[in-house]
Amino acid sequence: MKQLLVLGIMVLGINYLNAQTTVFTAPPSSSNNTVNLNTFKYSTCDNPGWIKMGTLTLPQEGNNAFIRLFAGAGYNAVQSQNGRTEIFIRTSNGASAGEGGKYFTAIATNYGQKKLASQIKIVHDNSTDLFDIYVYMGVYNGNGFYTVEAGAGSWVNAISASCSTVSEPTANVYNVPFEFRTQDDTYLASSLFVRKSDGSVGIGINEPDGKLDVNGGKIKVSDYYNSSGIGGAIQIDANGRTGAESKWVIYNMKKNGPSVGAGGLQFWNYPADGTSYGACCNMRLAITEDGNVGIGTMQPLGKLQVVVPNSTAGLQITGSNGYETWFPYSDGNNYIRGNTIISDLGGTVLIGTNTFPAPSASYKMVVDGKVGVRKLVVTQLAGWADYVFVPSYKLRPLQDLETYIKQHQHLPDVPSASEVAANGIDLGDNQAVLLKKIEELTLYVIEQNKELQMQKKEIQLLKKTRGQ
């Protein structure tokens, strides 16, 4: 059951610059013996809307008026429904126009947990001293009231009945801005401090060391783009810095998807032209919920994944000795310590040199220097020399072999010194050739052994026939 909340106020006259402040109040109500100060009971009821509060007569030459509204949005005895609005109006010298070309200025402030007035408009045409005050009110204001105080002039109330709303004014309108401003060091709720001299803010500390200093707690930034999966966001600008990528925004992504990547932190940069969100931008760094780090990718597949565009250098590691390692460099190759290169040309590895062999060589590794290994396995796909022991194999006669050696100065099938100097040695082929020669030599030895055995038998036979 709604209960009527009746508010009362005592307004004291105050002397300002030797001028008596005038308090304008409504006449006594005929329905009771109390004096309501400009009441607007149930002014908008179930629906919000515009009300015309009244007309203020306020002369030029720096005269001031102060209007205060007291009400709420419901009357269930909870603080979250209470609100108060203050309007301050000051005229000019009659010749100087301020904001919007008007010969006056105004400011409004809302207090309490409920925003009582969301918009305030003053209609004034600069030709008179009349100011029509319009306020956009919420619902269930209750038995609200307002006071008007001024150093000169008069006030005429315009609220005539409950739930009385009017059309929004559109001509000769001054939109009153809302703000709360103090010119002194400000302390709020014993935990928030704003320093006047430099605008530094302290939370939980009264001597902030920086523009924002938080002591004894954490900073929470909630959803920025809830529908697109973006949680909290922090933007970091650099005043005076220009360029296509001079603003940074840190996002906390909430879900997976092609547009937001994996959940976690993402670092983006934007142009400095004021179109930070939605303009051309680049995702630079991502840290996923499972601890993967991606540079140039939203969804890193490992603990560290670097994705770079074509012709762009990637990961650089520089040691104290000045040696640099690039994965990859801008030419597409991977450089290690400045003299080790893993090329994208078929995956060729260069160690101790940066001179690539001719493509016709088809080398997978080029080493300028010694290679030390404990064990080396060469896989020979074909041409192994076991065919020498096949019975049908034709072994070159020794006399022909001697003739070949005298003519060529190397064994048959073995590359010459000039060929080795020009083309090097294929270890697999060379081992097969050497094995072939060993097997041929074995066959020669077997043949020689057979001849020796035959000669031995012949010698023994001759000895017997001669009686020896």
The model's pLDDT over 52-97, given as tens digits with 9 standing for 90+, comes to 999 999 999 999 999 998 888 877 888 888 889 999 999 999 888 8
Identify the residue with better confidence: 83 or 222: 83
Residue 427: what pLDDT?
79
- The per-residue DSSP string of 240-268 comes to T--STT-EEEEEEE-S--TTT-SSEEEEE
Question: Residue type for 77, please?
Answer: A
Q: What is the mean pLDDT of residues 330-345?
A: 64
Residue 336: what pLDDT?
64
SS3 track for 142-207: CECEEEEEECCCEEEECCCCCCCCECCCCCCEEECCECCCCCCCEEECCCEEECCCCCCEEECCCC
Residue 88: what pLDDT?
96
SS3 track for 385-442: HHHHHCCCCCCCCHHHHHHHHHHHCCCCCCCCHHHHHHHCCCHHHHHHHHHHHHHHHH
**pLDDT band at residue 176 under the 50/70/90 scheme:** very high
3-state secondary structure of 39: strand
**What is the DSSP-derived secondary structure letter of residue 297?**
-
Instruction: Report the C-alpha gap between 122 and 133 in whole angstroms.
Output: 5
**pLDDT band at residue 345 under the 50/70/90 scheme:** low
Q: Is the pLDDT of residue 417 over 60?
A: yes
Quote the tokens at residue 261. 């990547």
Instruction: Report the C-alpha gap between 195 and 14 in whole angstroms.
Output: 31
Instruction: Report the C-alpha gap between 84 and 79 in whole angstroms.
Output: 12
Instruction: Report the C-alpha gap between 223 and 202 in whole angstroms.
Output: 24
What phi and psi values does residue 333 have, to the nearest 5 degrees?
Answer: -95, 160
Q: Are 141 and 73 in contact (CB under 8 A)?
A: yes
The alpha carbon of 392 is separated from its chain's Cα centroid by a whole number of angstroms, namely 76
Q: What is the mean pLDDT of residues 138-158?
A: 85
What is the pTM (predicted TM-score) of this model? 0.50
What phi and psi values does residue 27 have, to the nearest 5 degrees?
Answer: -70, 160
Residue 59: what pLDDT?
94
Q: Between the CA atoms of 145, 151, 153 and 159, what dihedral angle is there, to the nearest 10 degrees?
A: -10
Mean pLDDT over the full length of the chain: 78
Q: Are 423 and 416 in contact (CB under 8 A)?
A: no
Q: Is the pLDDT of residue 279 over 90?
A: no
Q: Where are the domains of the chain?
A: 15-175, 226-306, 315-367, 385-456
Q: What is the mean pLDDT of residues 389-413?
A: 90
Residue 328: what pLDDT?
66
Identify the residue with better confidence: 45 or 10: 45
**What is the DSSP-derived secondary structure letter of residue 80?**
G
**Intra-chain end-to-end CA distance of the chain, in Å:** 151
Q: What is the mean pLDDT of residues 130-139?
A: 92
What phi and psi values does residue 12 have, to the nearest 5 degrees?
Answer: -100, 140
The alpha carbon of 216 is separated from its chain's Cα centroid by a whole number of angstroms, namely 27
Instruction: Report the C-alpha gap between 314 and 230 in whole angstroms.
Output: 28
Q: What is the mean pLDDT of residues 122-144?
A: 88
